[in-house]
Copies of this chain bind each other. A is one copy, B any other.
């Protein structure tokens, strides 16, 4: 029941598209011509300039679509608050929940007594859920007793600009552990798909070298690798 992310679609040649779109703003040539004339060195220097000037709008032209499983409704409720993104989520209204699935927070997993209470509660809850359905209560009403940690599945699409914002907020150690794990896996996937666009990323301790939070965690990441290791 661990969170699993798959990158199911993304814009090909993303770095070229971003660089050509950006170059268009300052060049008398058209985007298609610019695109043809690009080589990896020009792309690199252009992307460096964009990062330095904070001119991030060309990053919007490329998008990434993730299929997420093993995620709680706690985390999807947080996730969908990012409004500049697209979502398709498994419906508890229409899909019957057969398996007593509930994401277990690590702090509970590591605590024998807590885990026992947790398991009992989850088992009892699924028993009650099934009874309610048998009594003829519609799935959409029976689910009111399902745990907030019940497993869900969601497809999410974000463009590269929104992803960078998402990483700056959700890879911070002060973010909730579950959405932080989502962000960590997303970062690794997009970094592999479009390395030029994600040379860096994450909270300001990584990107700017200093924490800008009002209430710092006191334990900033030591490096990008440190941030991306589980």
List A residues at the B interface (Cβ < 8 Å): 6, 8-14, 17, 20-22, 24-28, 30-32, 35, 52-54, 57-58, 60-63, 65, 67, 69, 72-74, 76-77, 80-81, 83-84, 86-96, 98, 102-105, 107-108, 111, 113-114, 117-118, 120-122, 124-125, 128, 131-132, 135-138, 140-141, 143-150, 153-155, 157, 159, 176, 212-215
Instruction: Please measure, in the bound complex, the distance between the C-alpha atom of A52 and the C-alpha atom of B107, giving whole angstroms.
Output: 30
Kindly list chain B residues whose C-beta atoms are within 8 Å of the C-beta of A96. 28
Kindly list chain B residues whose C-beta atoms are within 8 Å of the C-beta of A138. 107
Say yes or no: A77 contacts B73, CB within 8 Å.
Answer: yes
Instruction: Please measure, in the bound complex, the distance between the C-alpha atom of A30 and the C-alpha atom of B104, giving whole angstroms.
Output: 19
The 8 Å CB contact of A11, one of B10, B26, B31, is B10
Contacts A13-B9, A121-B128, A132-B117; is A30 near B111 (CB within 8 Å)? no
> Can you identify 15 A-B contacts, CB atoms within 8 angstroms?
A6-B32, A25-B89, A25-B91, A26-B94, A28-B90, A31-B69, A31-B88, A61-B65, A63-B63, A73-B148, A107-B137, A108-B132, A108-B141, A120-B128, A144-B149
Copies of this chain in the oligomer: 4
Instruction: Please measure, in the bound complex, the distance between the C-alpha atom of A31 and the C-alpha atom of B90, giving whole angstroms.
Output: 9
Kindly list chain B residues whose C-beta atoms are within 8 Å of the C-beta of A11. 9-11, 63, 65
Kindly list chain B residues whose C-beta atoms are within 8 Å of the C-beta of A114. 132, 135, 137
Q: How far is the CB of A85 from chain B (nearest CB, A)?
A: 8
Kindly list chain B residues whose C-beta atoms are within 8 Å of the C-beta of A57. 86-88
Instruction: Please measure, in the bound complex, the distance between the C-alpha atom of A113 and the C-alpha atom of B142, giving whole angstroms.
Output: 13
